[in-house]
Structure formats: C-alpha cells, structure tokens
Chain A
Amino acid sequence: MYRIFTIAFRNLLRYKRRTMLTSLLITLGIVLVILFSGLAGSFKTMMIGQITDSNLSQMQIHKRGYVSSIDTMPLHLTLDAKRYKKIEGLLSNNSEIKAWAPRIKLNAMLSNFTETTNIRLNAINPEKEVLVCPDVATRMTFDEKREPGMLLNKGEVIIPDKLAKGMKLKIGDAIVLVANNKDGSVNGLNFKVAGIIESILGPQGKEGYMHIKDAQELLRMDKPEMIEVAIRLHDFDKLGKVYADISSKLAEFINKKGMPEFEIHTWDKLSPFSNIAKMIDFMTITMKIIMIAIVLISILNVMMMSVYERVREIGTMSAIGTAPSRIMGLFLAEGLLLGLISTIIGNVIGLAGIFVLNIYKISFAFGRQDNLLLAPTVNITELLWVSCIVLLISVFASLQPAYKASRMEPVDALGHV
C-alpha cells in the first residue's frame, strides 16, 4: 500500500503545473466553504442566540389556538393557575429543562399626556425571565443610578427605543397605559419609564416590558392568569428531542371538547428569522454542492488526462503481470492523494482565514440593528464532513479513469502511439 501511494505521489509530481492548478482549485473550493460556513454559521448562531436568549426563549407553551391568532394577542386564550400547575409539573420532571417563566402578552395604549400610541407589551416575572432569557437586559438601557441587575419593579415599564423617540419619552418619565381586558372593559394605570429597549428582528422584538402583576391588575384578572410559558434548556442542541418529549406529554391533556388543551412551539415556529436561517442552510449546502462539482470535474479531468497520457505505461504494468485491481488501485490512490493534499492545504488556509476574521471582526447591519460583529467559528464535525466529502468525491471521480486503465488490453496499450 505504501509503495502504491509513493508511485501515485511521484506521478502527481510528474505533471507539477497541472497538479498544482487542480489542487489550487480544490483548495479554493474548500477554503470558500470553510469561510462561508464559518461566517454564515456565526451569523445564524448569533441571531438565533439573540432571538432566543433576549426575547423569545427557546420554546413556548400556550393554550391551544393561541399561536394561530397571535397577531391579535387574544386575552381569552389564557392559562389559569390550575393549567399552569399542570405545565409546571411536567417541566419540573424533565431534567433537560433549565428554567421556565410565565408571561402575559397584551396590546395597550400608551399616553405621555399629550400623545397616545399603541404598544405591544410583554408582561414578565423579572426573576424568572432572566433565567429563561439571560440576555434580555443586554438590550435595555437604564438610569445610571439604577441598582445593577434590577430588571423591572412593579409600576415600571420598559419601552421600545423607536417608540421612546417617537413619543419623546425618556427614562423616569410618567406615562399611562390603557388596556381592554378579555371582557372588553377598559382600565388605565400610571407607570414610570424605567428603561428603553433596543428593537430586534421579528414582531416580538419590538415589544415593551412590564411586570406580570401590573398586567394582571391592568387587565383586571381576579385570579392569576398567563398567556404563555417560556422555556429554556440546559443544552440548545437537544431542542428537538425535548420538544418531542414534552409535546407527547402535553398531548395527554385533553379539554372538554376532547381536543389537546395546550400547544408547544420551538423558537423557529415563532420567529420569521427561521426562514432566513433555512436560507442560510440552503446557501451553505449550495456552496458545498459547488465545491463537490469543482472537485469532481477537476479530478475527473486530471485523472482522465493521466490515463490517456500513460497508456503505454499501463500496458507495461499489465504486461508484466500487475493485476487489474492493482492498476485500478494505483489510479485511485493518485486521485485520493490529490484530494487529500488539497484538503489539508484547504483546511489550513480556511482555518487561518477564520482566525484572521476573528482578529479583525466583521461588523455589519441587519434589519434595524447596526454594528453587529461576526466572530466566525468552525465546527470540527463540519470540517471533518467537508474533508470526508472531498476525499470521497476524489475517489469517486477517479473511479471511471482508473477502471478504464485496469480494463486496457496490454497488447493494445503497448501498441498505443
């Protein structure tokens, strides 16, 4: 085997320029895939992290039918204390779940005593919310005198930045929130602007925040009710498995009509970014397909030329008794070696590129957000996958020329001019 690879290597060196050009092409393909995967992957991870860790959470449970009518933020599809207890019981028995938090979503009218506008509010339990969305405070701006770590007190609201600008509101200002409860009666309460929150992607990214108890009072809920339960896992990669597990257990709760009482959704079903994430995945796959095509065509071309140029040599090999399988092995080894050398160089340059991009971070704007910094990373599994694909394609592309070489009749090959 060692000798086969030695001969294969020397044959590659025999046509240095051709080998170098082919290797360069494959290397370029690998480098592009690594850099694109690194950049696109880091963008996707950053955006998903921002959406799930600062606003949406990783999973949400609602009363059945809520998500399909989420745009109107219906208040009659609430979870009462009894139902919340059922959900809590289920979640507390699952070791993969790190935290959960109740929320009320509501539409209200915000008045600064001179102007009035609409506002979407996310009423939270601050202590529980920071466990579910640990980065929620990173989007918020507070008064310098505010106690660190303090998210929200009763009687306070945090309003979106665009709304604050439009209504000329600043931290410390007094406002009035007016909301309809589920029976249609109107109530209004005074609040103080405690902070301003930066908007992010998606409709939920433009919501203000208030304390859940204030929301229950504003909506005149006699007993505690909530709209959704936000959930965070210990390991985000296990989302699919935990979702399936909880989903099947929730299905056991049936309402009076014999229908499931609850519904559960992962972040991607709740955020429009999931479509962008899918597009990024599609583009990454497209890049990989382009790379595969480059490898396939380059190696097939080189190996076919190699066979045509060495017909007499193949004839000699065959004449002196080399088994057809050995001849085939020699050419396959040549293709594999070309792929291997290119893969190693491509990986080294690709990783160096990722390292450089991490030093000189790329800043970009996305939606209404500016100065987002990309810190590309490469997953080892991804790197191995790309390398294995290149090696497999190298062998695959060499199969036809190698087979052709192995099937040559020595008499014909020796007489080739």
Chain B
Amino acid sequence: MALVQIENISKIYKTGDVEVAALSNINLSIEKSAFVSFVGPSGSGKTTMLNMIGCLDKPSSGQILVDGKQVGSFDRKQRAAFRGDVVGFIFQSFNLFPVLTAYENIEYPLVMIKNEPVEKRKEMILSVLDSVGMLNQKDKFPDQLSGGQKQRIAVARALVTQPKLVMADEPTANLDKASSINVIRLMRDMKDKFGTTFIFSTHDPRIMEEAEITHTLVDGKLS
C-alpha cells in the first residue's frame, strides 16, 4: 500500500468573490521510502501540494490518505498529533528556534511532542547529529551556524522522531550551490539509512536531478 494516496484533490482559495484554483483534480500515489520532488514554476501549486500531504492544510475536495489515514477529515488537534507522529518538516528558511542550541532544537520535538525520557532522547539526538555530521556544532545557537549547517540541523530535527514522511518545501532555496547539493545528498542518505519517504519541492534544475521521482506541476495540475 502506498504511503501517500491522493484521490482527485482540488484546492481553491477565495479572495472576496474571486476564486483561485491552486490545485485541480490531482491523483497521485507515493510509495514508502521514495525520494520525490515536485517541480514547477512559482505559483504552480508545489507548496499547496506539500501542505496537503503534510497535513498542514485541507483540500477543498477529494481525499488524501497518508499512512492509511484520511487526513482531510482531521480537526486541528488531530492534524497536529498526526504531524507529530508521522511527518517531519524541513523549511526553506530553516525555521530553527533562535533561543535553542542546535542540540535543543533537535530535542524540541522529542520533549514537546513525543515526551521521550531524557536518556533515550540523548541517544537519539546524538545519533542523528552524528548522521548529519553536526555533532561538534551541537552547542551552538542558530545564529552561530552557516546556512548549510542550519539546514543540516533542520534535517536532523525532522528526522529525530523517525517520521515515515519528511516534507521539504524548497529546502535549498536559501543555500549556495555546494550547500544545496550537500543538503539534498544528506536527505537522500537519510532516506537510505532510515527508510524515510522524502517529498520536496524545488525549481532548481540541479536539485531535480537528485530526485528519484519528479512530478511537474503547472497551474495546479500535474503534467
């Protein structure tokens, strides 16, 4: 069974009397441990697509099944709990918490969402920090890290709870070329190591090449 099953979803945004279709009648399935990219020009619906799959937003019509659950019918609390259990997020602007060190940023979901005990937490964080090659930077605050290092910590934070699915919206948009390639390769290595499904959006051709499966969106439709 596919990890993500999308059945005829549409997303329509209303601004006053004007309706804009961000996604139209999308049907798609994504298997476990896949490394999938959504590509397309700005405004094509990549972010909306990722938001739907990542349970951050609800479709206007159609169904989305993630890990066998109909996430479109979840309320706020259920969606938050589901995201905490099943989905990890990597953001374009890293979105690390500035008041927490690298170690504490990775620890955040384990404390605030998973309530893992201290010893287990420590073991998981050190392991993931080692995997992303940031063990020696663990006590630094985000403003003491480079863009690439921040994104590595963000990857570690997304992976530390061992989610089945990691969503990354333009994860390399704020990085230079070398860092971008490094981050994407790191994500692929993590996918191989943990068997996590990675879904990311990009419009950078160099990054697209790294994806195993690429879906192209144009004007809210798969082409």
Q: Which residues of A contact B (CB under 8 A)?
A: 3-4, 7, 10-11, 13-14, 312-313, 315-324, 326, 409-411, 414
- Which residues on the A side are within 8 Å of B57 (C-beta)? 409, 411
Does B2 touch A at the CB level, under 8 Å?
no
Contact (Cβ within 8 A) A319 B83: yes
How far is A319 from B51 in the complex, measured between Cα atoms in Å? 10
**Nearest-CB distance from B63 to chain A (Å)?**
19
Candidates A14, A315, A323, A409; contact of B81 at CB < 8 Å? A323
A-B contact pairs, 18 of them (CB 8 A): A14-B99, A312-B93, A313-B97, A313-B98, A316-B91, A316-B95, A319-B54, A320-B113, A320-B158, A321-B87, A322-B80, A322-B84, A323-B84, A324-B76, A324-B80, A410-B56, A414-B56, A414-B91
Candidates A3, A315, A411; contact of B112 at CB < 8 Å? A3
- Which residues on the B side are within 8 Å of A414 (C-beta)? 56, 91, 95
Contact (Cβ within 8 A) A321 B84: yes
Contact (Cβ within 8 A) B99 A10: yes
How far is A11 from B97 in the complex, measured between Cα atoms in Å? 10
Per the 8 Å Cβ criterion, residues 42-89 of B in contact with A are: 51, 54, 56-57, 76-77, 80-85, 87-89
**Nearest-CB distance from B35 to chain A (Å)?**
21
Give the 3 A-B CB pairs with smallest separation, nearest first. A321-B84, A10-B99, A321-B83
Does B111 touch A at the CB level, under 8 Å?
yes
How far is A10 from B109 in the complex, measured between Cα atoms in Å? 18
Does B157 touch A at the CB level, under 8 Å?
yes
**Nearest-CB distance from B92 to chain A (Å)?**
10
How far is A313 from B142 in the complex, measured between Cα atoms in Å? 13
- Which residues on the B side are within 8 Å of A13 (C-beta)? 99
Does B100 touch A at the CB level, under 8 Å?
yes
Knowing A319-B89, A320-B157, A322-B113, the reply to whether A7 touches B83 (Cβ < 8 A) is no
- Which residues on the B side are within 8 Å of A11 (C-beta)? 99
**Nearest-CB distance from B15 to chain A (Å)?**
14
Candidates A3, A323, A411; contact of B80 at CB < 8 Å? A323
How far is A194 from B109 in the complex, measured between Cα atoms in Å? 86
**Nearest-CB distance from A413 to chain B (Å)?**
10
- Which residues on the B side are within 8 Å of A14 (C-beta)? 98-99
- Which residues on the B side are within 8 Å of A411 (C-beta)? 51, 56-57
How far is A326 from B88 in the complex, measured between Cα atoms in Å? 18
Contact (Cβ within 8 A) A322 B76: no
Q: Beyond the given A11-B99, A313-B95, A323-B113, could you list 15 further A-B residue pairs with CB under 8 A, ordered by the A residue number? A: A3-B112, A7-B97, A13-B99, A313-B98, A319-B56, A320-B89, A320-B108, A321-B82, A322-B84, A323-B80, A323-B84, A324-B76, A324-B77, A411-B56, A414-B91
- Which residues on the B side are within 8 Å of A7 (C-beta)? 97, 99-100
Contact (Cβ within 8 A) A316 B97: yes
- Which residues on the A side are within 8 Å of B93 (C-beta)? 312
**Nearest-CB distance from B58 to chain A (Å)?**
10
- Which residues on the B side are within 8 Å of A322 (C-beta)? 80, 84, 112-113
Per the 8 Å Cβ criterion, residues 145-176 of B in contact with A are: 157-158
Contact (Cβ within 8 A) B111 A3: yes
Instruction: Give the nearest-CB partner of A415 in chain B.
Output: B47
- Which residues on the B side are within 8 Å of A3 (C-beta)? 111-112
Candidates A313, A323, A410; contact of B77 at CB < 8 Å? A323
- Which residues on the B side are within 8 Å of A312 (C-beta)? 93, 95
How far is A316 from B81 in the complex, measured between Cα atoms in Å? 14
How far is A3 from B91 in the complex, measured between Cα atoms in Å? 24
**Nearest-CB distance from A357 to chain B (Å)?**
41
- Which residues on the B side are within 8 Å of A324 (C-beta)? 76-77, 80
- Which residues on the A side are within 8 Å of B83 (C-beta)? 319-321
Instruction: Give the nearest-CB partner of A2 in chain B.
Output: B111
How far is A276 from B35 in the complex, measured between Cα atoms in Å? 81
- Most chain B CB within a 10 A radius of its CB, from A14, A320, A322: A320
- Which residues on the A side are within 8 Å of B80 (C-beta)? 318, 321-324
